Structure 1
Amino acid sequence: MFGELSKVALREIWPREASDFTPWLAENIEELGKALGMELELIEQEASVGDFSLDILAKDLGSSKSVIVENQLTQTDHDHLGKLLTYAAGFDASIVIWISESIREEHRQAMDWLNQRTDNETLFFGVVVEVIRIDNSRPAFNFKLAASPNEWQKNKKRQTQRSSVSTKGEKYQNYFQSLIDTLRDAHRFTSAKAGQPQNWYSFPSGFSGLTYGANFAQGGKARAEFYIDLGDKDKNKYVFDQLHNQKEKIESELGEAISWERLDNKRASRLALYTDGVIDDSDAELERIKGWHIDKLLKLKSLLGMKIGQLAKSATSM
């Protein structure tokens, strides 16, 4: 009735760590983010730190915090632990992820100790990667969280640090927590789990440098946007201009006008939609804005998702 579940040796799938596993992980960085409740975006592979090279440098889109990922296809060892701490210092990382075939108990304890001793802005994760199959099925990968911040300890620290977060910051955090919870649970739009005390939140499009965003902008406006920042001004303007050439078709499909903001004096560009609203509005009004944000983000992703892939590839090859 049931098939037999078996583990596959990692090196059967990825013979070499640097040339096989790290590139695969970079391509599947969003899947790692889902396992951790984050929206991870790749920044660089083999990023230099003095004479060493970090496997993966990434960013958590929801908080813009820097993320380092060190991986190995064997059990954890002291050498990689030392490298992990060196890379964390070198990149001033807020989120530190150690991926391995298995985690030794003393290394799990070390990561637990680091999470207990560091502040609320520094998070250490130990992740086990495994490959499994049922009978003779195709292999499937799985990320298992083996070490993570103790939420009770972190929450306790939040209580003592609350005075350092402004009342408005708490309102933003509460608003975006509610927004991402609904987008995640009801619409599977995001895997993010933690709101931040800031006036914006970004979500991946599936293409590095292209994101969807919910914001509270200046002038008493709330904004939903498609944000273009491939790291190069000319590439950004190219993607924007190619989309702008389809303005009438895009707006017709969306059912409303878009604010086309090329931002010639800045590197990035964006397509934006606006509604009245500020974070100090009443609970009822914030609920309306939340519904508006959800509706516009879903429509923007549905409309642009099929259009931006080729544009991103064309811009990257410029």
Structure 2
Amino acid sequence: MAELGALTEVDLREVWGNEARDFTPWLKENIDRLNQVLELDIEITEREGPVGPFAVDLVGQDLGSGRTVIIENQLAPTDHTHLGQLLTYTAGRGAKIVIWISPQFREEHRQALDWLNENTGEDQAFFGVEIKLVRIDDSRPAPLFKLVSQPNEWQKSVASARATSTRGETYQAFWTTFLEKLKERAPGLTNAKKGLPQNWCSISAGRSGFAYAAAFKLKGRFGVELYIDTGDKEKNKQFFDQLYEHKDSIERELDMALSWERLDNVRACRIAIYREGSIDAGEEELNDLQDWAIANLVKFRDAFGKRIKAL
């Protein structure tokens, strides 16, 4: 008969003595562990992101939907203070995916998250996640995430999203290869590994509300862009106008003319370059599109990155 080890729980504070100094940085660097549990593709863009005079532990973006994500952590049982903070940060950041992590959820707080999921819009999602540390015999401690609250029909909607069309599968294969190349040629630009069955691929620009993207457009066009959507139309236009003031120097730095799209009739703004390109093209042309997009995304990061931070 095979011998089995004994599973024991480890006090979180043996590994993470301080939530802000130890656990939050660890989670930022190991967000893929949480992604596996939630079946999302979150990329963290900010730590201690400002919300008025307060700060939310982590801010990010779900690369699959483009929705803003906030994560609030604590290494103690849930309490009313953190629930209030969570709601304040949700409103202040316009977050659509809200994650609360604790080693123990009190029943009234789990019920509060369930109520929020039942009474907010379909694009709003609140998750309660319990964190434990376990070891087998004398092994190293391992983190264990457990979902205790999630939106109704969440698993069903995730499964539905996976049931992609043939065209969706083609997009997914294209973006997966694209991300593999991007990771090799521009390490650190994104942590995303798997392409999604859609006509675009978004990458954090290092600040909430800003993203670089490559996308197949209508009329056989393919583009690389900086997309601005903070959730506030007025702020988006102000940020666009501030960047536009540096149009000449940016275009000289990039050595190319850009399409400056303020998009006054919608909330977001876009700064882009385009070329011909279709997902129905042959393998050689698709490879060329990937190479072109990667080269220009790197240029966009170098030209816009420092300017975005300075806004």
TM range (shorter): 0.5 to 0.7
1:86 corresponds in structure 2 to 114
* Contact map agreement 2:133 2:144 (CA 8 A) in 1: no
Residue by residue over 1:260-313, the C-alpha shift from the partner in whole angstroms, topping out at 9 and shown as x without a partner, is 1111111111110111101111111100000011011000001111111121xx
Residue by residue over 1:140-162, the C-alpha shift from the partner in whole angstroms, topping out at 9 and shown as x without a partner, is xxxxxxxxxxxxxxxxx79xx97
- What is the percentage of aligned positions where both structures have the same residue? 34
Three-state SS of the structure 2 residue aligned to 1:230 is coil
Residue 13 in structure 1 maps to residue 15 in structure 2: no
TM-score by length of 2: 0.65
Q: Write the distance in 1 (CA, Å) between the matches of 2:240 and 2:26.
A: 26
* Contact map agreement 2:60 2:69 (CA 8 A) in 1: yes
Equivalent positions of 1:1-40 (< 5 A) are 9=14, 12-14=17-19, 25=24, 31-33=29-31, 36=35, 38-40=42-44
Residue 76 in structure 1 maps to residue 103 in structure 2: yes
Residue by residue over 1:188-234, the C-alpha shift from the partner in whole angstroms, topping out at 9 and shown as x without a partner, is 11101221111111111111001101100111111100011122222
* Contact map agreement 1:173 1:196 (CA 8 A) in 2: yes
1:100 corresponds in structure 2 to 131
Three-state SS of the structure 1 residue aligned to 2:284 is helix
TM-score by length of 1: 0.63
Q: Write the distance in 1 (CA, Å) between the matches of 2:71 and 2:114.
A: 12
1:214 corresponds in structure 2 to 214
* Contact map agreement 1:262 1:270 (CA 8 A) in 2: yes
Q: Cα 1:213–1:110, aligned 2, differ >3 Å: closer, same or farther?
A: closer
Q: Write the distance in 2 (CA, Å) between the matches of 1:283 and 1:38.
A: 30
Equivalent positions of 1:82-231 (< 5 A) are 83=110, 86=114, 89-90=117-118, 96=127, 98=129, 100=131, 102=133, 119=155, 122=158, 164-188=163-187, 189-231=189-231
Three-state SS of the structure 2 residue aligned to 1:39 is strand
Q: Write the distance in 2 (CA, Å) between the matches of 1:109 and 1:242.
A: 42
Q: 1:73 Cα deviation (Å)?
A: 0.7
Q: Write the distance in 2 (CA, Å) between the matches of 1:56 and 1:207.
A: 12
Supply the RMSD in Å over aligned alpha carbons: 4.3
Q: Write the distance in 2 (CA, Å) between the matches of 1:283 and 1:66.
A: 34
* Contact map agreement 2:131 2:145 (CA 8 A) in 1: no
Q: Cα 1:109–1:310, aligned 2, differ >3 Å: closer, same or farther?
A: closer
Three-state SS of the structure 1 residue aligned to 2:202 is strand
2:6 corresponds in structure 1 to none
2:220 maps to a residue whose letter is G
Q: Write the distance in 1 (CA, Å) between the matches of 2:107 and 2:58.
A: 14
Q: 1:21 Cα deviation (Å)?
A: 7.4
Q: Write the distance in 1 (CA, Å) between the matches of 2:180 and 2:130.
A: 27
1:269 corresponds in structure 2 to 269
* Contact map agreement 2:205 2:212 (CA 8 A) in 1: yes
Q: 1:33 Cα deviation (Å)?
A: 3.5
Q: Cα 1:299–1:265, aligned 2, differ >3 Å: closer, same or farther?
A: same
* Contact map agreement 2:42 2:60 (CA 8 A) in 1: no
Gaps of 5+ in 2: 1-11, 36-40, 77-101, 137-142
* Contact map agreement 2:28 2:58 (CA 8 A) in 1: no
Q: Write the distance in 2 (CA, Å) between the matches of 1:101 and 1:239.
A: 42
1:39 maps to a residue whose letter is E
Q: Write the distance in 1 (CA, Å) between the matches of 2:201 and 2:297.
A: 12
Q: 1:102 Cα deviation (Å)?
A: 2.6
* Contact map agreement 1:40 1:61 (CA 8 A) in 2: no
Q: Cα 1:34–1:250, aligned 2, differ >3 Å: closer, same or farther?
A: farther
Q: Write the distance in 2 (CA, Å) between the matches of 1:207 and 1:109.
A: 27
Q: Cα 1:68–1:242, aligned 2, differ >3 Å: closer, same or farther?
A: closer
Q: Cα 1:68–1:256, aligned 2, differ >3 Å: closer, same or farther?
A: closer
